Structure 1
Amino acid sequence: MMTKFKRSLAATVAVLGVLSVGLGAAQADDSAKDWSTIRIGSEGAYPPFNFLSPSGELQGFDIDIAKALCDHMKVKCDFVAQDWDGAIPALQNGKFDAFIASMSITEERLKQIDFTNKYYNTPGALAVAKDSTIADLQPASFDGKTVGVQGSTTHAQAVEKFLPDADEKVYPTAEEYQLDMANGRLDGVSDDIVVLSKWLESEAGACCKILGSFPADEAIYGKGAGIGLRKGDEKLKKMFNDAIVAIRADGTYKQIQDKYFKFDVYGK
């Protein structure tokens, strides 16, 4: 028994040693890699930040920012459409090298992946029907009311915290909760204020109005939207961070921002 235990222990130590070397090599590979081609994942279902054109091409603010960053870094970027719920595992497993899809930098996500500095930061808000009797964002006003949100988002967490008595209904995409809201199946919906504002400007969003915005709770919303990266890809992280600073300094960021918004989305 002792012999088997010792052999098992030795084998375990050997495996751990190999894994340790492998992890070290992976980090060293990032330092040596030229990153001449970068695969970028994005959701494609969160307008105006990211969406799919009729031909299936990824477009939107996130995508234009990504292309500007790639141009500054002088690298070739290939884009991959990725469902939101599977984004972090897909990034970890190497389906793409960076995820640029309005993902907030939160402590919980930082346990799994790394992030660049923010590239924008806008508040979360809640919209209701134009004829709604709900007058404010007080918890009592939403007692027994149904609020739609996209799953696995900071906005879902905000509803849980700020409207604990509401019945939260989770959807895979923003487009799906918007459809239910327009058809009168929900009492309210929560999302980024820009996403809601753009939706309300459309024919589909003519049903509704913004009731108000939630407090900027960093424990929920994090430090803004950043570019998701694998742990250990430090060279790539620096490349992106330097490029974010550069496109803000040379006016490229503002040109892209003004294409989609009438106000500064970078935040403080």
Structure 2
Amino acid sequence: MKAFRNLSAILMVCLILALGGVSAQHAPTLTPPTLVPTVPSPDGEALLAESAVARIMREGVVRVGILFNEPPFGELNPRGEVFGFDADLARSMAQTWGLGDNGVQFVQVTRQTAVDMLTSGKVDMLAAALVHRRELDTLIEFSQTYYPSYQAVVVRNGDGATELAHFADRRIGVVMGTPSEIAVAEWQTSAGYGFTVQRYVTLDLAITALNANQVDGVVENVIRLERAISSAPENYRIVDDRVMLEPIAIGIQRQDSRFRNLIDRTLQYLFQTGRLDEIHRDHFNGTDYPAAGFDVWANVGDAPRI
């Protein structure tokens, strides 16, 4: 009997110790658990409430952002009329869509305000000699290229330079704060040779420096160069080798694929019908439209309508 009581006591002690161990394992801790950090997912890009096509259909007019001081693409004449290559292109697009003679509302934009005017919805599209630059792809979308422009170098007639490499250890003039300055910087970075860059406030001052033999060449958009030397073209020559391509396209709001496809089809339709060539002749001294590389889909078909 005594042995039984001793065995019971031993079993009781073992049970208490076992329960105490379990309690110890699950006892609450005063140190809070470490939370797994949550990385917030980036907000998705907001979808458009509606395509610009829907608004144009509803109101019967397309709002076009255009430059008033960029001949031959866009100008405002003394009578208050907007004209130029971009202006006539926009009018032809609106007529193709069936909007009629009053189907375009031109809105003045500048180089500084154009993208903001588009993204804020103040205009439906930009026909403003707008260069398709990679850094703008996160802000707006572009149509296909409708004008293949580029940055070029102008030299004095008689200069022996026929390619960019011939400017090694020479002097290049450029206008400060312009895309040309960016083009020259990229040229310097990629070239395997050096040259001196001299900066000017205006293109006229840079051309004056070229005439005075203070620089050996001036870099600017080829269309602006041709306009700058038009009074005495026999004194200058534009080098064939291009500094940087500047494809000009129409800008629209992001994610509006319906409007972008309509614009691309319309550009191709105007190209096929010869209207682009007519507009180019009107504003580029009777010269043919630079058609090389212009993409045309197999199923463009008849005039695109809204």
Bin for the TM-score computed over the shorter chain: 0.7 to 0.9
More strand, by proportion: 1
Quick one: structure 1 residues 240 and 184, their matched pair in 2 at CA, closer, same or farther if it must change by over 3 Å? same
CA deviations 1:16-57 (Å, max 9, x no partner) are: 7xx97xx33x34454643442211112233322223323443
Quick one: structure 1 residues 54 and 167, their matched pair in 2 at CA, closer, same or farther if it must change by over 3 Å? farther
Spell out the pairing of 1:169-208 with structure 2 (5 A cutoff).
Answer: 169=199, 176-177=202-203, 179-184=204-209, 187=215, 188-202=217-231, 208=236
Match of 2:147 among 109, 113, 120: 120
Provide the secondary structure at the position in 2 that maps to 1:48.
Answer: coil
User: Does 2:248 match 1:225?
Assistant: yes
User: Does 2:97 match 1:73?
Assistant: yes
Report how far residue 148 of structure 1 moved: 2.0
2:78 and 2:207 map into 1 onto residues whose CA distance is 22
User: Does 2:277 match 1:254?
Assistant: yes
The one-letter code of the counterpart of 1:228 is: G
Is the CA contact 1:200–1:209 (under 8 Å) kept in the aligned structure 2? no
CA deviations 1:129-176 (Å, max 9, x no partner) are: 447x673554573647342247453x44332222454426376xxxx4
Provide the secondary structure at the position in 2 that maps to 1:74.
Answer: coil
Quick one: structure 1 residues 51 and 213, their matched pair in 2 at CA, closer, same or farther if it must change by over 3 Å? farther
Match of 1:213 in 2: 241
The one-letter code of the counterpart of 1:141 is: F
Match of 1:63 among 70, 79, 87: 87
1:265 and 1:195 map into 2 onto residues whose CA distance is 17
Provide the secondary structure at the position in 2 that maps to 1:221.
Answer: strand
CA deviations 1:40-81 (Å, max 9, x no partner) are: 112233322223323443322122112111111123111122
Tell me: higher relative CO, structure 1 or 2? Use CA pairs within 8 A at least 6 residues apart. Answer: 1
Quick one: structure 1 residues 69 and 124, their matched pair in 2 at CA, closer, same or farther if it must change by over 3 Å? same
Quick one: structure 1 residues 253 and 166, their matched pair in 2 at CA, closer, same or farther if it must change by over 3 Å? same
CA RMSD of aligned residues (A): 3.3
Match of 1:141 among 147, 167, 170: 167
Report how far residue 114 of structure 1 moved: 0.3
Is the CA contact 1:100–1:226 (under 8 Å) kept in the aligned structure 2? yes
Query: How does the TM-score come out when normalised to structure 2?
Result: 0.65
Spell out the pairing of 1:22-41 with structure 2 (5 A cutoff).
Answer: 23-24=46-47, 26-28=48-50, 30=52, 32-35=54-57, 36-41=60-65
More helix, by proportion: 1
Quick one: structure 1 residues 134 and 158, their matched pair in 2 at CA, closer, same or farther if it must change by over 3 Å? farther
2:262 and 2:290 map into 1 onto residues whose CA distance is 22
Greater Cα shift, 194-203 or 239-248: 194-203
Match of 1:102 among 99, 124, 129: 129
Match of 1:6 in 2: none
1:265 and 1:118 map into 2 onto residues whose CA distance is 11
Provide the secondary structure at the position in 1 that maps to 2:199.
Answer: strand
Match of 2:113 in 1: 86
How many residue pairs match? The answer is: 238
Match of 2:67 in 1: 43
The one-letter code of the counterpart of 1:230 is: Q
